[in-house]
Structure 1
Amino acid sequence: MSSIEKKIGHQLKLVRLSKGLTQEQLAELSDLHRTYIGSVERGERNITVKNLYKILLAMECPLGDFFRSF
């Protein structure tokens, strides 16, 4: 994984799985579409800060904790 999109997507997936959420559940909680969540996790999209915040808020994951792995 060399691109930042892939790194962010991989980290989002790890957090989501650690919370026991499906992509569909996370999409509903963050008011985004399930296919959007999947494409972000695969590193296919350049996620906006706004949507990253919505997803992290839905997973109750502080921004600092999310980026600690970088």
Structure 2
Amino acid sequence: MESPTPTARLGKAIRRHRQALGMSQDAFADGIEMHRAYFGAIERGSKNVTIATLIRVAEGLGVSMSDLMRDAKL
């Protein structure tokens, strides 16, 4: 079995943090002014995100970008 890609691991870490906040994908994406479909693709690990986008997501989650990277074991 193949191990998850780095983008998939990052997406799962983002999902865990969002769910810990009790927010839906729609509500979170709206809150950070991002299209829901694009945010969903980030969580699924099917989009490579820029550093600027990752910072935007991290700030919305109330964590640092390095926290997300660490949680994803990157």
Q: How does 1:18-37 map onto structure 2 within 5 Å?
A: 18-37=20-39
For residues 3-42 of structure 1, the C-alpha deviation after alignment (integer angstroms, 9 at most, x for no partner) is: 1110111110011001111111111111110001111111
Indicate the residue corresponding to 2:7 in structure 1: 5
Q: Superposed, which structure 2 residues align to 1:1-70 within 5 Å?
A: 1-69=3-71, 70=73
Structure whose alpha-carbon radius of gyration is higher: 2
Superposed CA deviations along residues 15-70 of structure 1, whole A, max 9, x for unmatched, are 10011111111111111100011111111111111111111111111223222221
**RMSD of aligned Cα (Å):** 1.2
Contact 1:26 1:55 survives alignment (8 Å) = no
* % identical aligned pairs: 24
Which structure 2 residue ranges, 5 or more long, are not aligned? Answer: none
Does 1 or 2 have the higher relative contact order (CA < 8 Å, sep 6+)? 2
